């Protein structure tokens, strides 16, 4: 299981300036000074924007649903261990992020813009210099603080009721990299053909934030940095330890690939043992769900009934329950399977 690996990221996971190991894309259309808010969702479809925080949901649909929102939230909390790409983009590409955020806020009619980031005094001071128009709100860096539901809990002062989406409370929450992509298209006429990501191999002391073409083979990215990846002793985690998955180096970087981590294979897999009813998964779940009870039902095929379905809808597959389980039960993988029954 990816989630059981313990890696000491201290001193390694830095917020470096972005590197461009491949040639940058050509301008495809002229930049746009002013865009009609009515046409903005169509523009997002034209540039091919999907949620680049990992969700991959079409950005235009999210924006249409949020019409009339009072607040735009730039989600730059990024609490997946070892990932710093959102923070690099916020710091080093603020022109594009701010332009994308202002345009998205205007399109839905939001008058308040919140920048949600980790509590880190140096980072906060730097961001204050770059995002004067934004209200900066600091969040815990404890995973999964960047989940939309937990962001709204802090902004609203109470957790949103089950099943309620941010737009129903007047919020449009957009990941920092998605907003960067909007700004890049507006200012430079370049659609979503690039992916900023964290590339790391902790055992070699390697950690970079880079921009690569969408669709490039992962193998080419590893080769560009001469990383000594050996499939017999390493595995590749795409998008992070907690919410990511194992990737094949012959596959392509996608718009939703947040990171490529080269990790020791022998630390990755452990045999599942019986549940000892310790309750650690219940205590750890940030939404107060009962993961093992849900998994028991999924394994027995008992996936009917409103309470079950409501809990499964709420679960956002953060993987915290799996990470704390002393019996190495792959809870989140089972929950993922359970979601397919909804
Ligand atoms: S994955 Fe586990 S910890 Fe995370 S929300 Fe779902 S049940 Fe809770
Ligand atoms: S943490 Fe693991 S062992 Fe403990 S109750 Fe949950 S599933 Fe069972």
Reading the block at residue 315, the tokens are 């679960």
pLDDT score, position 1: 47
- The residue ranking higher by pLDDT, 14 or 43, is 43
Residue 173 resides in a domain: yes
Ligand 2 centre from 281 Cα, in Å? Answer: 6
Last residue of a domain, which of 149, 173, 188? 188
pLDDT score, position 2: 54
CATH code where residue 258 lies: 3.10.20.90
**Does the Cβ of 320 fall within 6 Å of ligand 1?**
yes
Number of domains present in the structure of the chain: 3
Last residue of a domain, which of 206, 235, 267? 267
For ligand 1, what atom is nearest to the CA of residue 314? 5
**Lowest-confidence pick of 1-5, 111-115, 142-146, 309-313:** 1-5
Residue 301 resides in a domain: yes
**Does the Cβ of 279 fall within 6 Å of ligand 2?**
yes
pLDDT category of residue 334 using cuts at 50, 70 and 90? very high
Q: What dihedral angle (degrees, nearest 10) is formed by the CA atoms of 256, 261, 266, 270?
A: -40
Do residues 210 and 181 share a domain?
Answer: no
For ligand 2, what atom is nearest to the CA of residue 278? 4
Do residues 58 and 183 share a domain?
Answer: yes
Residue 263 resides in a domain: yes
Do residues 140 and 246 share a domain?
Answer: no
Specify whether the CB–CB gap between 118 and 127 falls below 8 A: no
CA atoms within 13 A on the CB side of 206: 17
Residue 4 resides in a domain: no
* 305 Rama sector, left if φ>0, alpha if ψ -120 to 50, beta otherwise: left
Q: What is the mean pLDDT of the chain?
A: 93
pLDDT score, position 71: 98
CATH code where residue 136 lies: 3.40.50.11540
Shortest-distance ligand to the CA of residue 327: 2
pLDDT category of residue 341 using cuts at 50, 70 and 90? confident
Looking up tokens 């995002």 gives: 131
Ligand 1 centre from 318 Cα, in Å? Answer: 5
Residue 254 resides in a domain: yes
pLDDT score, position 242: 87
pLDDT score, position 267: 65
Residue 3 resides in a domain: no
Do residues 130 and 201 share a domain?
Answer: no
Residue among 283, 329, 333 whose CB has most ligand 2 atoms within 8 A, to mutate? 329
pLDDT score, position 11: 82
Model confidence at 252: pLDDT above 70? yes
Shortest-distance ligand to the CA of residue 290: 1
Do residues 181 and 76 share a domain?
Answer: yes
Summarize the confidence of residues 153-176 as an average pLDDT. Answer: 94
Q: What dihedral angle (degrees, nearest 10) is formed by the CA atoms of 40, 45, 46, 49?
A: 100
3-state helix, strand, coil in the chain (%, to 5): 40, 15, 45
Summarize the confidence of residues 62-90 as an average pLDDT. Answer: 95
Do residues 104 and 123 share a domain?
Answer: yes
Do residues 180 and 124 share a domain?
Answer: yes
Residue 2 resides in a domain: no
Q: CA–CA distance from 90 to each of 76, 79, 116, 123, 328 (Å)? A: 7, 14, 11, 10, 36
Do residues 69 and 110 share a domain?
Answer: yes
**Lowest-confidence pick of 19-23, 26-30, 273-277:** 26-30
Highest average pLDDT, of 32-46, 182-196, 322-336, comes from 182-196
Ligand 1 centre from 165 Cα, in Å? Answer: 17
Determine which residue's CA is closest to atom 6 belonging to ligand 1.
315
Do residues 151 and 290 share a domain?
Answer: no
Do residues 183 and 218 share a domain?
Answer: no
Ligand 2 centre from 134 Cα, in Å? Answer: 42
Determine which residue's CA is closest to atom 2 belonging to ligand 2.
325
Model confidence at 187: pLDDT above 50? yes
Helix (H) or strand (E) holding 38: none
Helix (H) or strand (E) holding 188: helix 176-188
Shortest-distance ligand to the CA of residue 330: 2
pLDDT category of residue 269 using cuts at 50, 70 and 90? low
Residue 273 resides in a domain: no
Parallel, antiparallel or unpaired: strands 135-139 and 112-118: parallel
Residue among 149, 322, 332, 338 whose CB has most ligand 1 atoms within 8 A, to mutate? 332
Do residues 88 and 139 share a domain?
Answer: yes
Last residue of a domain, which of 211, 233, 267? 267
Do residues 18 and 147 share a domain?
Answer: yes
Domain that holds residue 231: 194-267
Ligand 1 centre from 292 Cα, in Å? Answer: 10
Measured at the CA of 236, the angle between CA 246 and CA 86, to 5 degrees, comes to 90
Summarize the confidence of residues 53-59 as an average pLDDT. Answer: 89
Give per-residue pLDDT as tens, 200-249. Answer: 999 999 999 999 999 999 999 999 999 999 999 998 999 988 888 889 99
**Does the Cβ of 291 fall within 6 Å of ligand 1?**
yes
Specify whether the CB–CB gap between 172 and 71 falls below 8 A: yes
Summarize the confidence of residues 83-105 as an average pLDDT. Answer: 97
């Amino acid at each position: 299981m990816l989630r059981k690996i313990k890696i000491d990221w201290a001193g390694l996971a830095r917020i470096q300036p972005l590197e461009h190991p491949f040639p940058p894309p050509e301008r495809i259309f002229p930049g746009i000074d002013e865009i009609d808010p009515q046409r903005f969702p169509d523009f997002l479809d034209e540039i091919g924007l999907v949620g680049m925080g990992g969700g991959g949901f079409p950005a235009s649909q999210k924006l249409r649903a949020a019409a009339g929102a009072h607040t735009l939230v730039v989600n730059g909390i990024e609490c997946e261990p070892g990932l710093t790409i959102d923070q690099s983009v916020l710091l080093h590409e603020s022109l594009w992020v701010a332009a994308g955020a202002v345009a998205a806020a205007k399109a839905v009619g939001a008058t308040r813009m919140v920048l949600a980031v980790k509590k880190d005094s140096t980072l906060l001071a730097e961001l204050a210099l770059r995002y004067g128009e934004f209200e900066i709100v600091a969040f815990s860096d404890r995973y999964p603080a960047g989940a939309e539901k937990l962001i709204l809990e802090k902004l609203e002062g109470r957790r949103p009721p089950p099943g309620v989406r941010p737009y129903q409370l007047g919020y449009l929450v957009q990941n920092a990299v998605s907003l960067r992509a909007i700004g890049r298209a507006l200012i430079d006429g370049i659609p979503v053909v690039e992916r900023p990501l964290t590339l790391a191999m902790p055992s070699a002391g390697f950690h970079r934030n880079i921009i690569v073409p969408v669709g490039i083979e992962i193998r080419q990215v590893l080769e560009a940095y001469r990383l000594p990846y050996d499939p017999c002793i390493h595995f590749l985690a795409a998008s992070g330890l907690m919410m990511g998955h194992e990737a094949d180096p012959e596959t392509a970087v996608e718009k939703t690939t947040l990171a490529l981590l080269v990790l020791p294979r022998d630390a990755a897999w452990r045999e599942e043992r019986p549940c000892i009813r310790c309750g650690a998964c219940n205590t750890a779940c940030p939404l107060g769900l009962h993961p093992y009870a849900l998994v028991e039902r999924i394994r027995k095929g008992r996936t009917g009934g409103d309470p079950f379905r409501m809990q499964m809808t709420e679960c956002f597959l953060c993987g915290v329950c799996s990470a704390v389980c002393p019996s190495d039960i792959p809870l989140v993988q089972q929950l993922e399977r359970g979601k397919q029954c909804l």
